[in-house]
Chain A
Amino acid sequence: MLKYIFKRILMLIPVLIGVSIIVFLIMRVFSPDPAPIVLGQHATQEAVEVWRQANGLNDPIYLQYFNYITGALTGDLGTSYYTKMPVAKEIFARFPATIELALVAIMLASFFGILIGVISAVKKNSIFDNAGMFIALIGVSMPIFWLGILLIIFFSGTLHWLPSSGRIDPMLQPLDITGFYLIDSLMTNNIDAFKDAFRHLVLPASALAMYSMAIIARMTRSSMLETLQQDFIRTARAKGISEGRVIIRHALRNGLIPIVTVIGLQLGSLLGGAVLTETVFSWPGIGAYTVACILKSDFPVVQGVVLLIASIFVLVNLIVDVIYAFLDPRIKYSKKEV
């Protein structure tokens, strides 16, 4: 198992090299020249040349890439053209917000998705099934920004229950330890901050969770329908155990494997930055920030973010594969199968 994990981590290297080359080329081929954007419309040709020279943009492209990748290997991802701050610092200032939002969203999505899926499968073709699948249909079809705006209008505007934007009331901001406000506020015993951070999370996390929840609910339903037909379910019933136990301990435990895959994929894409959600709710995360940087041709930041997201995506998939082995004892990652 350890050997398998190690091999998978090694396989990360070619993936990251490939991703870095692609994003490097795309930025340089399709993005406008950053110099006039950084220096302003009225910058002299001379100033532009000096800036390009200073930022290595006049070198041949393979040399630019070589300089970039050798820097990245030593942990130096470059500095932002605008803030002059190291890219790593820029990213890690915003990434916890995205992770916090994504994790809360995926927890909501998994809980309600599995719940709806199981009920729909067990009560197949009943009113519960139809209602559940109707919600799932809305979830996959509704544009997230529209859902976000509706939530803001209703819960924030009409009812005044929840805040519509930001992560926390700036007056309550907890000490920055991990960057996760929920954890930081608990660690500093700041209950008011925890409550406020939580209230700020509810709407964006719900909006973000809706799509994933719909996907998970549909997957759970079909997986459970298949599992409930299996012979061992009949055996479990013949043992005289309660139907609830048959469904949870026997059917769901077996039906969970494809569901875990879907949850992993969804989490990967949520961590990649929920651009629309972050924009609608003014969430200070990585997604909205990256879009701004793409528009401003801030090459080093965009490259750094894409590398980070690619690594996380691969790692989440690795974690899913490891979870498989725990869920299903028939899966063994031996040498042959890798």
Chain B
Amino acid sequence: MLLEVKNLRTEFKLKRGTVRAVDDVSFTIDKGEILAIVGESGSGKSVTSLSLMGLIQKPGGVAGGEILFKSQDLSKLSQKELQEIRGNKISMIFQEPMTSLNPVWRIKDQIMENIMTHMKMSKKEALARTVEMLDTVGIPSPAERANDYPHQMSGGMRQRVMTAMALSCEPDLLIADEPTTALDVTIQAQILELLYQMREKFNMAVLLITHDLGVVYEAADRVIVMYCGKIVEEADVKTLFEQPQHPYTVGLLQSIPQIDNESDEHLFMIKGMVPNPLHMPPGCSFSDRCDRCMERCTKEMPELQEINGHKVRCFLYDKAEEGELSAK
């Protein structure tokens, strides 16, 4: 087990109240595995990833739980100890390649900074490694492009540079927070392919944060669906797409446009909006948008329960109410 997150809670203390952006989230990632976290904006998926890195900025912070990385609890480490892990054992690539690189530094200096922070290398060796990494992620004539500034590169190129930087110290875990969202579809495919190759090459695990189910289907081994800071469903990618259980997951899958659908029907939409985090509905947080909402759902929050490796948080599958599904 590479990473084991237990009952993670991340809160933001605002003047108007406390927002629990990540609420009792537990999951594991194995060596070499690609785990996807899916959810809408505000579901807590990005906050989860930043919590792992200790990068939540005030007024937010991890309020509870354990983050066991190689059996070391990251949530107990000081910023200084975390700095040794960040960019080294766990690294991260972000959604916006256009703004995630420092505009006034040459890209080689940005990558070399990462390398020289964590590896005992001379400037010359670090430069050689930088060029090698740029070559690995598929940047043509890497030695020349290393001297470019970010604004001289396209979005796809910059995301490759980000990837080269993140992989430069051969991390055990790469957190990719919406790595393809800001890119064209053709470039998206290239970046996903790149992540796939890099996973093979460096045998690292990937935590893929996305709202794009197409990306999940293509890339992930296992999927977690998050809603309002909670995990509502978790399964391997095949099971999730073939037998989604939670009404929210079902809704998400139905709202993917199908190119071979020739009927005149409108695209399916989940009714309503994500609730205001300061005013969550009592009971299940999805209850006010759910087609199959029962009376019980508006009063109690269902527990996440596991049935044959498929976890779901919904009373429809409650052991007491549906005997057959509870059979392990």
Q: B-contacting residues of A (Cβ < 8 Å)?
A: 230-232, 234-243, 250, 253-254, 327-330
Whether the pair A254, B99 counts as a contact (CB closer than 8 A) is no
List of B residues within 8 angstroms of A235 by Cβ: 92, 94, 100-102, 162
By the criterion CB–CB under 8 Å, are B99 and A230 in contact? yes
Taking a contact as CB atoms under 8 Å apart, the answer to whether B100 and A241 are in contact is no
A329 contact from B87, B104, B113, Cβ within 8 A: B104
Query: Bound complex: CA of A218 vs CA of B84, how far in Å?
Result: 34
Partner of A232, one of B55, B82, B99, B117: B99
Q: Decide if B55 touches A234 in the complex (CB within 8 Å).
A: yes
| Secondary structure dominating the interface of A | helix
Q: For the complex formed, measure the closest distance between the CB of A263 and the CB atoms of chain B, giving whole angstroms.
A: 18
Contact A231 to B94, CB < 8 A, known contacts A250-B102, A254-B102:
yes
Query: How many B residues face the partner with a CB closer than 8 A?
Result: 30
Residue of A nearest to B102 (CB): A232
Which of B83, B100, B105, B151 is close to A240, meaning CB atoms less than 8 Å apart? Answer: B83
- A237, A242, A330: residue with the most chain B Cβ atoms closer than 10 Å: A237
Give every chain B residue within 8 A of A242 (Cβ-Cβ).
80, 83
A235, A239, A243, A328 interface centre (most CB from chain B within 10 Å): A239
Which residues of A have CB within 8 Å of B137?
A: none
**Nearest CB on A from B95, distance (A):** 8
Residue of B79, B113, B118, B162 near A243 (CB, 8 A) is B79
Q: Are B149 and A329 in contact (CB under 8 A)?
A: yes
A254-B162 CB under 8 A given contacts A239-B117, A240-B86, A241-B113: no
Shortest C-beta distance, B74 to chain A (Å), equals: 13
The 10 closest A-B pairs by CB, nearest first: A240-B86, A240-B87, A239-B87, A231-B99, A240-B83, A238-B92, A232-B102, A231-B100, A329-B149, A239-B114
Cβ of A227 to closest chain B Cβ, rounded Å: 10
| C-alpha gap A232/B99 in the complex (Å) | 6
Q: For the complex, what is the distance from the CA of A85 to the CA of B92, rounded to whole Å?
A: 71
CA distance A231 to B91 in the complex (A): 15
**Bound CA–CA A41/B88 (angstroms):** 85
Contact residues in A for B83 (Cβ distance below 8 Å): 240-242
B97 to chain A, nearest CB (A): 9
The yes or no answer to B204 lying at the interface (CB within 8 A) is no
The answer for the CA separation of A179 and B86 in the assembled complex, in Å, is 55
